[in-house]
Amino acid sequence: MSETTLERITIEPTIAAKACVIWLHGLGDSGAGFAPVVPALGLGNNHGIRFVFPHAPEQAVTINGGYVMRAWYDIKSMDLHDRADMAGVKQSEQQVLALIEEQINDGIPSENIVLAGFSQGGVMSLFTALRLPKKLAGIMALSCYLPSGDALPDGLADVNKTTPILQHHGIDDEVVPLNAGAVAHDLLLNAGFDTHWQTYPMGHSVLPEQLRDISVWLQTVLAHVK
């Protein structure tokens, strides 16, 4: 594997894959943390969706006392305006782009790819998708924020302006404040992006009810895939 190729867990459908969901985990987790959601989504036997759960590289994380863990970027402080190490964000962006290119080279067009993520992974899915010059099927950002704080990222591409964005957040989130997600949503909405915001009675986690909603959304944004 090259230095930009991430190790991952790949779950293939029972039929030939015609679409792909790339799902990025949160800080300190791994691809194994979200791989169990696939059967929980209840997509049936013939959905044709490949799920890819990459593992973030290991690095020291400042807010955790420099402890080394899987992270898409360093978190410097809890201040939303100075939380994300942007150099690290852009380095991980290149690795996520490489994953997308792998799928395209394997015969799945970008229009059949959903980029999803939770927490840090959601930050990366939003940041990467908003700057991506290729059309995606959908963008899912769970319990997260924009790495640029109260501004949209630089280098925005217009091609995903009409791509459905799903933003979920827990009203009792003790890790990423609800307001941080709401700020991202308002910025996207005001800029004309097709974003849907929904909150749940939870902390920094995922609920079974939420997975049912995600399943419906995924089937909707991939309904064109034949």
| Nearest-10 Cα torsion for 73, 95, 69, 36 | 120
The answer to whether 79 is a known catalytic residue is: no
CB 112 within 8 Å of CB 222: yes
Number of C-beta neighbours around residue 118 at 10 A: 27
Written as six digits, the tokens of 83 are 């939380």
Judge whether 119 counts as a catalytic residue. yes
Distance (Å, rounded) from C-alpha 39 to C-alpha 45?
10
Given 55, 194, 204, 205, which residue is catalytic? 204
Give me the catalytic one of 29, 74, 85, 173.
Answer: 173
Give dist(CA 145, CA 167) in Å, integer: 10
User: Which residues lie across from 198 on neighbouring strands?
Assistant: 168
* Cross-strand bridge partners of residue 166: 140, 196
Nearest alpha carbon to residue 158 among 135, 139, 189, 140? 135
Catalytic residue among 30, 119, 125, 143: 119
Catalytic annotation on 173? yes
* Catalytic center residues: 119, 173, 204
